[in-house]
Amino acid sequence: MHDEFDDSCCVEIEQALLGAEVEDFQMKVYDPREGFFGEVTMEGLIEAGKWTVLFFYPADFTFVCPTELADLAEKHAELESLGCEVISVSTDTEYAHLAWRQSEKLLSGVNFKMAADPTGVVSRYFGVYDPDTGLALRGTFLINPEGVLVASEINYYNVGRNADELLRKIKANVYLREHPEQACPAKWEPGKKTLTPSEALVGKVAESLE
């Protein structure tokens, strides 16, 4: 036995941070719309000027996961109209994605790219990788067209997400990109009042929303 502690294996893992640029990544994908395998990179998404939704989930052929992807699929067309590229991600392979998409009826409407992260590299970077299972937790990440992470949500295995709230947050972020001097209050929807932070607003938020 060695008396001294050997920290050579304790390497700090860089993670994505809110408000910071996302590092480039690369993943194989199954594209249900085109019916073939492909690849996605952060660099390519930025070059395309897209908002990006990364939708991590634990595994193909499980139980809550197909309900989440089906819910997201119902909002896919509207998300695309806002300039969003939707990409689901798990630690399965792109081949498993294809088989699951073809066999699970709940996924019949899924047309967004299904990315494969079998080594867990991208899942680790976004802080959703569970080393005890080798799976990804339910993480949703919104990246703006400049490649900056602007929103994140992580749920445990047994709680499914709501695509309505994701859509609402994306609408708010799209609006704020055009109006950076403003802020969106709780439950904001397009057409409702926003807030313009200033000295005059301090202690007077209620009045400004009337």
Q: Show contacts of 131-137: CB within 8 Å, 24+ apart.
A: 133/58, 134/91, 135/58, 135/59, 135/90, 135/91, 136/56, 136/57, 136/58, 136/89, 136/90, 136/91, 137/56, 137/58
With both helix axes pointing from N to C terminus, report the angle between 163-178 and 64-74 in degrees, rounded to the nearest 10: 40
CA distances in angstroms from 45 to 66, 113, 151, listed in the order given: 25, 13, 17
Catalytic pick among 9, 65, 84, 184 = 65
- The verdict on whether 84 is a catalytic residue reads no
| Residues tagged active-site | 65
